[in-house]
Chains A and B, each alone.
Chain A
Amino acid sequence: MTPFVFLALLQDGLATGAIYLLLAVGLLIAFSVTRVIFVPQGDLLALATLTAAQLESGQVPGTLWVLDALAALALLLDLARLRGRMRWRALLPWALYPAAVTLAALFGPRAAPWFAKLLALGVITPLGPLIWRFAFRPVADAPVLTLLILATALHFVVAGVGMVAFGPDGASVAPLVAATLLLGPFAVSGQSLAILLCCAALVLALRFFFAATLTGRALRAAASDRLGARLVGIDAAGSGSRAFALAAFIAALSGILIGAATPIAYDAGFEIGLKGFVAAIIGGLASYPAAAAGAVLVGVLESLGSFWSSAYRDVIVFALLIPVLAWLSWRSRGAGGA
């Protein structure tokens, strides 16, 4: 392996690792607040790419109607539950927001790449809270394993929506940066840089959100002590909804970043999501820095593994879990039986 090849592999691995990092962060947010291992996150990623691609080609994506239908259903159910006691402010998100997105999709300049990408973020992000609303909120206190099985079932549902809405063919979106930067003999892809920058920006934004905003701090409190947060009046269901919105937003952003010049089909997201899991597990499903390190490790290892022996790449990546889990397990020995 020449230094040139190594640098090229490293660049590719870092870009992929940055996507895994985003997904791992989304998973950790959802897991720490709601204890849900958000399996369909990868499928939302694929939906985001396909939605943006279809908008770019001037079509109206089927996911928009899915959003409208689910939001309408949520609105109806909330209305029925509240009956006389209208609390309009609570209901508005399910009426005003989808209407705005729908109007923007129908009458806005949807084929413009930047607008299509923003709109795709706008369509996919609210699917997170809707998934929380319909699938998880009714069983928010169930054991982790029950929630995991439920999330797995949701993976098939979301992928099924993708198959119906977009068909089996993959699609890609226009890259954010088409240019390639030449550093001497070494070419750096502009999109790779864009991915790394977006990833860094999002991580910083999240840090600010969790440290300095009221909503963010409430979420953090809900994550560290569910019961305590409830006692001091932090609305647990609302926290779940917000955590899922964040996770879905992160998935959608990842989809738009990774889908540049790379065809993503309706069923491609699941495996990307799984790599995000591997990273999150390396972080023990608790530590953000460890998960970030894990994500970069997975990305780079995958890139190097593909070079060494492409047929065994997945085996190499998943085999990474074994020493990590063994170490986590060994470390937890000291904590006693539980």
Chain B
Amino acid sequence: MRARLGFVLVLAVLALAAPAARAQIRIGAILSVSGPGAAMGVGYKGAFDFMPHEVAGRKIEYIIRDDATDAENAYKIAQKLIAEDHVDAIIGPSLYSSDVAVQPLANAAHVPMIAMAPLVPEPAKFPYSFAVAQPLSLMVAVVFRRMAEQGVRTVGYIGFADGWGDQVKAAALTAGAATGIRIIADERYARTDTTVQAQALKLMAANPDAVMMGNSATPAALPAVALHRLGYRGGIYGNHGIVSPAFIRVGGAAVEGVVADTSPVAVYDQLSDGNPIKPVATAFMDRYTKTFGPGSANPFAGYSWDAMLLIAHAIPDALEKGAPGSEAFRTALRDAMERTHDLVGVSAVYDMSATDHNGQDARAAVLVAVQHGAWTAIH
């Protein structure tokens, strides 16, 4: 084991000697491809199969890593991407708690990172952090406005017993306060549970006008199915984590009528013709289905794509200030990204500023419902 430690030291010395500046641009990505977040992570990763390999005449090298839905892993990976691979920017992490863990690291090293979980960037504190995922407050607010229109006064909440469940709940509280809708029940279940009968009964007992779900992927169908079986008459609302064909496949008739917010790209072909996102999202989805086959569409792929879009958009400016691999390049990249105006992505139109590193507006959230066994946009 002495030899092992020696080996590490040798590596360390070699790494010190590594030249920093280089011709190609290196992008690191931290995605939750396995573990509890895998169902979404697969989408995040898919987009990298057809990302541009050249921008402004420079080759782009992608280093994709899986944090196994574990913030500690993400932290280690980020450290390695920064210190050993000398990446010019980090796409991700795609997991919220990983974003929180990695953010101080990337900022201290002056590496721009584009969070893909609904992290709310704080440019004053973390100037190198950006986010492409719509803030949950924005998304959930759309759902609550819909509820208010439908005359909903009280809502029962049911979500995962994990970070996602906590975040959607927090956003629901804010949105509820804004729309005058009260949350009168909070039920939780585990992603791997096989029954939510008890939670559904408890919700029925509270008798809310509607139910809001803070869950994601296929296990999100459980509460909808249970409530349907118990004959619940109110509306069932969800978040963008449930908008996938698999949710309908598993939920069947029970999820008919479920309403959720989502990213425009999820219903790209149903956007109104005047929507600037429509052509961009259509082109993206054509490429995605060409790579992965029809029916494979995964809205989470759009976040990776938009993150790279932001970077690619900023690269020409940044190249004037420094060579890839240098701090000057990374800082210029950050500055250029902060100056992004009206950049049309597949999930939002980005308008960044020194105080807003998310840059999204209401166009980033679309309301959809399950109609006749398919996600359909509600205009």
Contact A306 B221 (CB under 8 A): no
Name the CB-closest residue of B to A167: B42
Q: Does B145 touch A at the CB level, under 8 Å?
A: no
The one of A171, A187, A271, A306 in contact with B198, judged by C-beta atoms closer than 8 angstroms, is A306
Q: Is the interface of B mostly helix, strand, loop or mixed?
A: helix
Contact B198 A263 (CB under 8 A): no
Contact B201 A261 (CB under 8 A): no
Using known A-B contacts A168-B41, A170-B219, A268-B192, determine if residue A310 contacts B199 with beta carbons closer than 8 Å.
yes
Contact B218 A307 (CB under 8 A): no
Q: Does A74 touch B at the CB level, under 8 Å?
A: no
Provide the bound-state CA to CA distance between A16 and B196, in Å.
11
The one of B38, B194, B249 in contact with A268, judged by C-beta atoms closer than 8 angstroms, is B194
Using known A-B contacts A163-B34, A170-B219, A310-B187, determine if residue A265 contacts B198 with beta carbons closer than 8 Å.
no
Contact A170 B194 (CB under 8 A): no
Q: Does A5 touch B at the CB level, under 8 Å?
A: yes
Contact B38 A163 (CB under 8 A): yes
Q: Does B18 touch A at the CB level, under 8 Å?
A: no
Looking at the assembled complex, report how far the CB atom of B295 sits from the nearest CB atom of chain A, in whole angstroms.
12
Chain A residues with Cβ under 8 A from B188's Cβ? 310-311
Looking at the assembled complex, report how far the CB atom of A226 sits from the nearest CB atom of chain B, in whole angstroms.
35
Provide the bound-state CA to CA distance between A169 and B194, in Å.
14
Q: B192-242: which residues lie under 8 A (CB-CB) from chain A?
A: 192, 194-199, 201-202, 205, 217-219, 221-222, 225, 229-230
Name the CB-closest residue of B to A258: B194
Chain A residues with Cβ under 8 A from B329's Cβ? none
Looking at the assembled complex, report how far the CB atom of A19 sits from the nearest CB atom of chain B, in whole angstroms.
8
Q: Does B130 touch A at the CB level, under 8 Å?
A: no
Chain B residues with Cβ under 8 A from A304's Cβ? 198
The one of A9, A168, A258 in contact with B197, judged by C-beta atoms closer than 8 angstroms, is A9
| Listed residue (B36, B187, B197, B229) with the most chain A CB atoms within 10 angstroms of its CB | B197
Chain A residues with Cβ under 8 A from B217's Cβ? 168-170
Looking at the assembled complex, report how far the CB atom of A163 sits from the nearest CB atom of chain B, in whole angstroms.
6
Q: Does A314 touch B at the CB level, under 8 Å?
A: yes
Chain A residues with Cβ under 8 A from B189's Cβ? 306, 310
Q: Does A267 touch B at the CB level, under 8 Å?
A: yes
Contact B219 A303 (CB under 8 A): no
Using known A-B contacts A170-B250, A306-B199, A310-B187, determine if residue A264 contacts B225 with beta carbons closer than 8 Å.
no
Q: Is the interface of A mostly helix, strand, loop or mixed?
A: helix
Contact B36 A267 (CB under 8 A): yes
Contact B195 A12 (CB under 8 A): yes
Contact A169 B246 (CB under 8 A): yes
Chain A residues with Cβ under 8 A from B199's Cβ? 306-307, 310
Q: Does B190 touch A at the CB level, under 8 Å?
A: yes
Count chain A residues whose beta carbon lies closer than 8 angstroms to a beta carbon of B. Answer: 37
Bitwise interface map of A from 135 to 174 toward B, beta carbon under 8 Å scored 1, else 0: 0000000000000000000000000000100011111100
Q: How large is the interface on B (under 10, 10 to 19, 20 to 34, 35 or more residues)?
A: 35 or more
Contact A168 B201 (CB under 8 A): no
Q: A160-215: which residues lie under 8 A (CB-CB) from chain B?
A: 163, 167-172, 180, 187, 189
Provide the bound-state CA to CA distance between A167 and B205, in Å.
37
Provide the bound-state CA to CA distance between A170 and B205, in Å.
29
Q: Does B161 touch A at the CB level, under 8 Å?
A: yes
Provide the bound-state CA to CA distance between A252 and B49, in Å.
36
Provide the bound-state CA to CA distance between A167 and B43, in Å.
12
Bitwise interface map of B from 35 to 75 toward A, beta carbon under 8 Å scored 1, else 0: 11011011000000000000000000000000000000000
Chain B residues with Cβ under 8 A from A33's Cβ? none
Chain B residues with Cβ under 8 A from A9's Cβ? 197-198, 201
Looking at the assembled complex, report how far the CB atom of A306 sits from the nearest CB atom of chain B, in whole angstroms.
3
Provide the bound-state CA to CA distance between A242 and B104, in Å.
55
Provide the bound-state CA to CA distance between A303 and B39, in Å.
27
Contact A5 B250 (CB under 8 A): no
Provide the bound-state CA to CA distance between A171 and B199, in Å.
22
Contact A168 B194 (CB under 8 A): no
Provide the bound-state CA to CA distance between A187 and B229, in Å.
9
Q: Does A262 touch B at the CB level, under 8 Å?
A: yes
Chain A residues with Cβ under 8 A from B35's Cβ? 267
Looking at the assembled complex, report how far the CB atom of A141 sits from the nearest CB atom of chain B, in whole angstroms.
31
Contact A8 B250 (CB under 8 A): no
Provide the bound-state CA to CA distance between A294 and B217, in Å.
32
Provide the bound-state CA to CA distance between A290 and B60, in Å.
63
Q: Does A272 touch B at the CB level, under 8 Å?
A: yes
Provide the bound-state CA to CA distance between A171 and B217, in Å.
11
The one of A16, A263, A303 in contact with B222, judged by C-beta atoms closer than 8 angstroms, is A263
Chain B residues with Cβ under 8 A from A263's Cβ? 218-219, 221-222, 250
Contact B201 A307 (CB under 8 A): yes
Chain B residues with Cβ under 8 A from A314's Cβ? 190
Provide the bound-state CA to CA distance between A307 and B217, in Å.
23
Using known A-B contacts A16-B195, A171-B218, A307-B201, determine if residue A189 contacts B42 with beta carbons closer than 8 Å.
no
Looking at the assembled complex, report how far the CB atom of A240 sits from the nearest CB atom of chain B, in whole angstroms.
29
Using known A-B contacts A163-B34, A262-B222, A268-B192, determine if residue A303 contacts B198 with beta carbons closer than 8 Å.
yes
Given contacts A2-B205, A265-B39, A310-B202, list 6 more A-B pairs with CB under 8 A.
A16-B195, A168-B217, A263-B250, A267-B35, A307-B198, A310-B187
- 20 pairs, CB–CB < 8 Å, chain A vs chain B: A12-B195, A168-B217, A169-B39, A170-B39, A170-B219, A170-B246, A170-B250, A263-B218, A263-B219, A263-B221, A263-B222, A263-B250, A264-B194, A265-B218, A271-B192, A272-B194, A303-B198, A304-B198, A306-B198, A311-B161
